[in-house]
Amino acid sequence: MIYFITGITGTVVPVIVEDLIRKDKDAFFYFAIRKDSKGNDVQARFEALVESLDLDPASKLDLYKRSKLVEIDIEKDKIGIDSGMYAELVQNTEKILHGAADVRFDQPYEVICKPNVIFTYKIYDLFNDIKKLRTIGFNQFYIDQQGHSAEFVLLYRNILKEPVQDRKLRKGYTAGHIYKGVD
């Protein structure tokens, strides 16, 4: 399985990746990472993350070998991914795990709208570009300020050929969910 994953430098997604690396010996990962506010580049952030994972040294080395870093900028078109890499993602991605979110609950919605809502719409754009080549599914859930989750099921149904429904995102905070391919 070939995954495109956002949120790898967060707290939830690394746990999922640890599980995937153990269970799916053929998995390949495209990790969407951006430079942080401290000036750390994409490679440095990824290396620090891998070293923090609860994996044995051989599994960490395996993760490096089965990964490709994709530098992103959520302010730009196609999340700042250069055209060659974007085409590669569209061609190769089989599942999307969108787990990037700003979960600083002390921030006003207007501040977190860009990383949570706008970024999610841009991930939908990637999903729709992939969908033009083959059918894949998509669902999203969020966690509100009280920690309650509510799932938004946004599956493109292969049989009915229904389009992805418009998303009514409330003042919650996105978390991630593996987007399962529909055969």
pLDDT for res 177: 35
Q: pLDDT, tens digit, for every residue of 46-92?
A: 999 999 999 999 999 999 999 999 999 988 999 999 999 999 999 99
Cα–Cα distance for residue pair 131/118, rounded to 1 Å: 20
Strand pairing category for 2-6 and 28-33: parallel
pLDDT at 180 over 50: no
Position 109 confidence tier, pLDDT thresholds 50, 70, 90: confident
pLDDT of 163 strictly over 80 = no
Task: Tell me if residue 35 falls in helix, strand or coil.
Answer: coil
Domains of the chain: total: 1
Give the C-alpha separation, 155 to 136, whole Å. 8
Query: Which CATH number covers residue 6?
Result: 3.40.50.720
- pLDDT at residue 150 tops 70: no
Nearest Cα to 173, choosing from 119, 131, 117, 125? 117
**Residue 116: domain span:** 2-179
Residue 142: pLDDT above 70? no
Report how far residue 53's alpha carbon sits from residue 33's, in angstroms, rounded to the nearest whole number. 17
| pLDDT the model gives residue 139 | 42
